[in-house]
Amino acid sequence: MAKDIVISAGDLSKIYRRGAEEVRAVDGVSFEAAAGEMVAIIGPSGSGKTTLLNLIGCLDNPSSGSLSVGGRAIFGGQKALSERELTLIRREMFGYVFQKFYLIPTLTVEENIMLPGAFYRAPGAKDAHEVMKLLGIAQRRGHLPGELSGGEMQRVAIARALINGPKVLLADEPTGSLDSKRTEEIKGILRGLARQGITVVMVTHNLDLARSADRLLEIRDGKVHGA
Ligand SMILES: Nc1ncnc2c1ncn2[C@@H]1O[C@H](COP(=O)(O)OP(=O)(O)OP(=O)(O)O)[C@@H](O)[C@H]1O
Ligand SMILES: [Mg+2]
């Protein structure tokens, strides 16, 4: 039986130009990820991991190459999608955990988590309390981000990414500032999401977390080395 391919990237490239200087941030990356699959992207700083994640998440346009999400051609297809169509795909398909969290400092933990749902309530949307419990932050619901530890902020960012029940969770360093016990917990949570059929694509420097993925993409100078 054919696997249910959710992400399909073909020869994706992103080139930044600064004057005469050219940075090939992502350089001809091809890969597929199926429903319920967990993919880890590893590589040194500046190798293009965040850029690749942004391309997969339709937050950035590739310089060349193709991308399909949920069987739909996003880039490199016959017809370019409108900004409105891209917005729909972003909010229906993806949950994003950014490297810098981007929590709103004047909103509480609970309000931050509920924020995406204020703009759009997906059919598979989750209850805020449910995701706070899942991430072990329910007791911090009334706190402001400035009153949280780095690890707690990270878990709030993951909870917020899950509130609209995404098909694909994209996470840039989901355990970046966590101790090994918390990393182990996040690993279990991500695995659980994958078991529910969510495709998880994460960037990590944590080798233990990377090895727990179904697939490892090792990226160096924008190119994939191991698949
Ligand atoms: N907006 C931009 N304009 C120009 N160059 C950029 C831009 N964004 C990223 N780059 C360059 O592209 C390359 C890849 O950057 P990227 O942020 O994807 O790396 P990374 O692998 O995520 O690194 P880190 O592990 O430090 O987060 C780097 O050389 C970076 O300087
Ligand atoms: Mg990065």
pLDDT digits 0-9 by tens, 32-81:
999 999 999 999 999 999 999 999 999 999 999 999 999 999 998 777 88
d(CA 8, CA 4): 11
Ligand 1: residues with CB < 6 A are 16, 23, 25, 43, 45-51, 99
Q: Across residues 10-38, what is the average pLDDT?
A: 95
Model confidence at 2, pLDDT cuts 50, 70, 90, reads low
Element (H, E) at 85: helix 83-93
Model confidence at 106, pLDDT cuts 50, 70, 90, reads very high
Task: Count the neighbouring beta carbons within 10 Å of the beta carbon of residue 200.
Answer: 24
Asked whether the predicted pLDDT for residue 177 surpasses 80, the reply is no
In 3-state terms, what secondary structure has residue 181? Answer: helix
pLDDT at 226: 62
**Ligand 1, closest atom to CA 52?**
18
Q: Across residues 168-181, what is the average pLDDT?
A: 86
Residues with Cβ < 8 Å from 226, sequence gap 6 or more? Answer: 216, 217, 218
Mean pLDDT, the chain, rounded, equals 91
Asked whether the predicted pLDDT for residue 197 surpasses 90, the reply is yes
- Which ligand is in closest contact with the Cα of 16? 1
Q: What is the CA radius of gyration of the chain?
A: 17
How far apart are the CA of 7 and the centre of ligand 1, in A?
22
How far apart are the CA of 50 and the centre of ligand 2, in A?
4
Task: Count the neighbouring beta carbons within 10 Å of the beta carbon of residue 118.
Answer: 9
Tokens for 70, please give them: 């949920």
Model confidence at 186, pLDDT cuts 50, 70, 90, reads confident
Asked whether the predicted pLDDT for residue 151 surpasses 90, the reply is no
Asked whether the predicted pLDDT for residue 129 surpasses 50, the reply is yes
Q: Across residues 199-204, what is the average pLDDT?
A: 96
Report whether 4 contacts 35 (CB < 8 A): yes
Among the listed ranges 34-38, 58-62, 126-130, 151-155, which one has the minimum average pLDDT value?
Answer: 151-155
**Ligand 1, closest atom to CA 47?**
21
How far apart are the CA of 49 and the centre of ligand 2, in A?
6
Q: Nearest residue CA, atom 25 of ligand 1? A: 45
pLDDT at 18: 87
pLDDT at 1: 45
Q: Across residues 216-223, what is the average pLDDT?
A: 96
Q: Nearest residue CA, atom 16 of ligand 1? A: 48
Report whether 17 contacts 192 (CB < 8 A): no
Asked whether the predicted pLDDT for residue 159 surpasses 60, the reply is yes
How far apart are the CA of 216 and the centre of ligand 1, in A?
20
pLDDT at 178: 76
How far apart are the CA of 45 and the centre of ligand 1, in A?
8
- Which ligand is in closest contact with the Cα of 48? 1
Q: Nearest residue CA, atom 10 of ligand 1? A: 25
Tokens for 94, please give them: 């993806």
Q: Nearest residue CA, atom 17 of ligand 1? A: 50
